Structures are given as structure tokens and as C-alpha cells.
Amino acid sequence: MRPLEKGARLVVASHNPGKVREIDDLLRPLGFAAVSAGELGLPEPVEDGATFAENALIKARAAASASGLPALADDSGLCVDALGGEPGIHSARWGGPDKDFAMAMRKVEDRLQEAGATTPERRKAHFACALALAWPDGEAEVFEGQVHGHLVWPPRGEKGFGYDPVFQPNGHDITFAQMDPRKKHAMSHRARAFEKFLAALRAASAR
């Protein structure tokens, strides 16, 4: 990875203050700071990529070129094998304008029933996260993480968000929504993508 100067500010291409704070907490020990695209008043680009990586790159490149600073963006979702990878990059959209994930989880379940997917083997799914780092000149790198498991029905647990109540990670008998959030955050698709990014950042800033 291209070295980043210590003390550099990285734009986080998200208008979600919670996400920006979390990323700032990860960057500070390494001597970097996060500033949000919202704070800089950057416009949100149209995410019309065909993959998580493409959408993350669209957001990171737009923020880097508008701000003149290196920028980070992520894109994530749930991919269900028996549904050909859907909802995938459309995971947020399946929740509709009201972000109704009870409805989105039911839609996934209805499709699985239509496909006759009744055994855990036929109900395999994974969460995926792509994290893109882009420089103002357009150079970029993508780091990806996944966590594999299967879908259960009915939904179980009150913690987490989105599709967490139906996702049971391999090696566990509880869903992400039943799991202590610290445990989920240590093994999630996002954690895995961030670990790769932080390792590359450490190596680049040690040079």
C-alpha cells in the first residue's frame, strides 16, 4: 500500500456519525484521524456498482477527489447461496424506505421456502464487507472480509441490526442478534476487512 503520512486525516465516506466514530477509534492508535464526508459537506455518489468492492470504490473515489484527502468507504450485505447471492448489494434496499428488516428477513425466508431450502446445508449464507481506500489521484485498494453461516427461522435475539436475528455463524448455536456485540464485532465480516486494512496501514506507515 502507498505510505500515508503520520497524522494524516482520512475522510470516511459515510454520513453515519456512529460509523465514523468507530473508524476514528481504530485509526487514532496508529496516528491517523477520521473526518466524515458529512462534516465536509461532500455529496453522496450514486452506488451503481455490481459488487460490494465496486460500490465501496465508487464512494471512496468520490470522497477522495472532492476533498483532496485519502478516503475510506465500505459496503456490506448478506449473500444467500440458494438465492444466487441475493440480497447481496441490495441488502439495505430490501428493508425499503422504512428500513424494515423484519419484512426483509421474511422476504428472504419466503424465497428460501419457495426454493425448498429447509436444511442448514441448503440455507448457507455469508455476510460480506468491502473496504476501499482511495487517494485523490484515483489510486485505490480494496480489503474484503466475510463471515459464513446459515439462516434460521424464526428470527432470534434482540441485539445487533439488519439481518442479525436470522444469521447463525458457523461453529455457534446462537444468531448474531443473540451474541454479545463485542463477540460479534470481533468475528464479523467488517472486523475481518478492517484487520486487513489496518495490517496494510501499519506496514505502510512503518516504512
Q: Is 173 a catalytic residue?
A: no
Catalytic residue among 25, 48, 75, 180: 75
The CA distance from 202 to 151, in Å, is 36
Would you say 9 and 33 are in contact if contact means Cβ atoms under 8 Å apart?
A: yes
Rounded to a whole number of angstroms, the minimum distance from the CB of residue 125 to ligand IMP is: 11
Would you say 33 and 11 are in contact if contact means Cβ atoms under 8 Å apart?
A: no
Strands 71-80, 124-134: pairing kind: antiparallel
Q: Which spans of this chain sit near ligand IMP (rule: CB under 6 A)?
A: 75-78, 91-92, 95, 101, 127, 160-164, 176, 188
**Nearest to ligand IMP of 136, 153 (CB atom):** 153
Rounded to a whole number of angstroms, the minimum distance from the CB of residue 2 to ligand IMP is: 25
**Nearest to ligand IMP of 32, 190 (CB atom):** 190
**Nearest to ligand IMP of 36, 91 (CB atom):** 91
Active site residues: 75
